[in-house]
């Protein structure tokens, strides 16, 4: 029995990323402009990775050193376009790196929302030697190339807007520039391109007419979601793409059973895995990789970055969580900050104006307000009073604090690390602890209260 997958030609994406992007008015190349915290180019590369294609060829030009530096260490190949002479010229720089039998998938580094499913469907239509071209219908085609069809409805070519006749300008089916075809055919057509047009450029779109003239079957695949083919040329379009991408990601969360109080007021700037019955309030920002367990709640205006929130946990309003792990049924906030390395065991509580960094808060332990816990390990059932801090930094090195199960730390205590508090120990309020507090005992470390009889408060002199 033959494995049909093994017989399929490889799909090699060619990503055009050589444009300057003058309308961005930026020293950063256009394809490196950030969209949801990731460069435009990275979104295209992510779609290619999801597609499961061969390593892509990225065509760089303007700002090539910056783009190459950003791509360093990735599994891909680089082609250089020293002069920007059009899309056909850009593709020509990549083709020598690709074997003839491969299917070339032409993509654009400034069209970041293209989906892997759409690309997979397009590439499948080119397997038998056809030219597959992605189009879309729009209400306003201004600035876009029009798809030309004959009286029978067959596609015969593409005309750029600058070269259209008045009748052609009214066409609503437009070119996305995204295509799939066997490399051997594309090499032949690209070699025959000329620059006899209003722009004096080598248009990749002219390849479609060449295919028709050769009798090659042309299959037009209409993109079902216009958002996937939005190009980014200026800051306004970048901002619109940000909202578009966030709405797409919000829709995906809703489909998974997540409750969003207002999808328009959620910013998803990374990858979110959410179980059912998660609730997210307004103004929340999710960065990096965020995992949300079943039934957890994220309150308004929280920022979560690269963190895990387990089932039933509540993150109250205005809390900031970065590279932290939050156990089941925990409560965090409001106005709490969990910094990298913070780990909360199940049912732990971190309250308002508390900061935790590189520390473990044990099962059911409480740090309810106005405290800093850094470089520390707290056991189960620990109670930390208001205003407590771990003095973990001596100006050069960090030191660790250990607090045993069931310990009680009174308010306004300073724990000068390295220091240890034993199980079920009590530390009196206002203490400055520099040595071990024994298990099960009360430890006080504060100056004796003194009253100065007859003392007079200083008074300002009258001038």
pLDDT of residue 8: 82
Reading the block at residue 149, the tokens are: 């069809």
**Which stretches in the chain have pLDDT values below 50?**
1-5
pLDDT of residue 461: 84
Q: Residue 114 and residue 40: Cα distance in Å, rounded?
A: 11
Tokens at 322, concatenated: 């970065």
Entry pTM: 0.86
- Which letter does DSSP use for residue 45 in this model? H
Q: Say if residues 286 and 272 touch (Cβ distance below 8 Å).
A: yes
369 a catalytic residue: yes
Map residue 298 onto helix, strand or coil.
strand
CATH assignment of 4-229? 3.90.550.10
Alpha-carbon gap, residue 207 to 211, rounded angstroms:
6
Closest CA to 372 of 387, 393, 351, 352: 387
**CATH architecture of the domain with range 235-443:** 3 Solenoid (2.160)
| Spatial separation of the C-alpha atoms in residues 338 and 309, rounded to whole Å | 12
Q: Tell me how far CA of residue 376 lies from CA of 343, 390, 410, 430, in angstroms.
A: 10, 8, 17, 19
Tell me the three state secondary structure of residue 394. coil
Helix (H) / strand (E) element for 87: namely helix 87-94
Residue 137: the pLDDT is 93
Contact call for residues 322 and 306 (beta carbons, < 8 A) = yes
Which one from 43, 70, 221, 369 is the annotated catalytic residue? 369
pLDDT of residue 214: 94
pLDDT tens-digit series, residues 39-63: 999 999 999 999 999 999 999 998 8
Name the average pLDDT for the chain: 94
Contact between residue 424 and residue 412 where contact means Cβ atoms under 8 Å apart: no
Residue 324: both structure tokens together: 């932290």
Query: What pLDDT is recorded for position 1?
Result: 39
Q: What is the pLDDT of residue 195?
A: 86
Q: Where are the domains of the chain?
A: 4-229, 235-443
Q: What is the pLDDT of residue 2?
A: 42
């Amino acid at each position: 029995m033959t494995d049909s997958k093994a017989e399929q030609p490889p799909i090699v994406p060619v990503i055009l990323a050589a444009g300057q992007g003058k309308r961005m008015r930026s020293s950063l190349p256009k394809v490196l402009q950030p969209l949801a915290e990731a460069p435009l180019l990275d979104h295209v590369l992510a779609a290619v990775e999801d597609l499961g294609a061969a390593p892509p060829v990225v065509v760089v030009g303007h700002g090539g050193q910056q783009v190459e530096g950003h791509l360093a260490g990735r599994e891909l190949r680089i082609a250089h376009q020293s002069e920007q002479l059009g899309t056909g010229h850009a593709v020509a720089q990549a083709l020598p790196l690709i074997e003839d039998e491969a299917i070339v998938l032409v993509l654009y580094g400034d069209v970041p929302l293209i989906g892997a499913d759409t690309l997979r469907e397009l590439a499948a239509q080119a397997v038998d030697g056809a030219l597959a071209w992605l189009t879309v219908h729009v209400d306003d085609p201004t600035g876009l190339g029009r798809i030309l069809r004959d009286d029978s409805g067959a596609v015969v070519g593409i005309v750029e807007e600058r070269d259209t006749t008045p009748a052609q300008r009214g066409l609503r089916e437009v070119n996305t520039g995204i295509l799939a075809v066997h490399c051997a055919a594309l090499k032949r057509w690209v070699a025959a391109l000329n620059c006899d047009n209003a722009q004096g450029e080598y248009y990749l779109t002219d390849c479609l007419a060449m295919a028709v003239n050769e009798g090659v079957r042309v299959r037009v695949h209409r993109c079902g979601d216009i958002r996937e083919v939005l190009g980014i040329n200026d800051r306004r379009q970048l901002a619109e793409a940000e909202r578009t991408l966030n709405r797409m990601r919000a829709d995906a969360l809703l489909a998974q059973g997540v409750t969003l109080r207002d999808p328009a007021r959620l910013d998803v700037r990374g990858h979110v895995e959410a179980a059912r019955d998660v609730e997210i309030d307004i103004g929340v920002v999710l960065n990096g990789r965020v995992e949300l367990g079943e039934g957890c709640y994220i309150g308004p205006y929280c920022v979560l970055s690269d963190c895990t929130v387990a089932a039933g946990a509540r993150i109250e309003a205005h809390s900031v969580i970065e590279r932290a792990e939050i156990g089941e049924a925990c409560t965090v906030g409001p106005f709490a900050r969990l910094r990298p390395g913070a780990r909360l065991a199940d049912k732990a509580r971190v309250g308002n104006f508390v900061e935790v960094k590189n520390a473990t808060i044990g099962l059911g332990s409480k740090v309810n307000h106005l405290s800093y816990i850094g470089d520390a390990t707290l056991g189960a059932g620990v109670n930390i009073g208001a205003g407590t801090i771990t003095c973990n930094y001596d100006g050069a090195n960090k030191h660790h604090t250990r607090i045993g199960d069931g310990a009680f730390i009174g308010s306004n205590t300073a724990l000068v690390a390295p220091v240890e508090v034993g199980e079920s120990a009590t530390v009196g309020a206002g203490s400055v602890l520099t040595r071990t507090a024994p298990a099960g005992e009360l430890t006080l470390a504060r100056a004796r209260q003194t009253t100065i009889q007859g003392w007079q408060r200083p008074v300002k002199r009258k001038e």
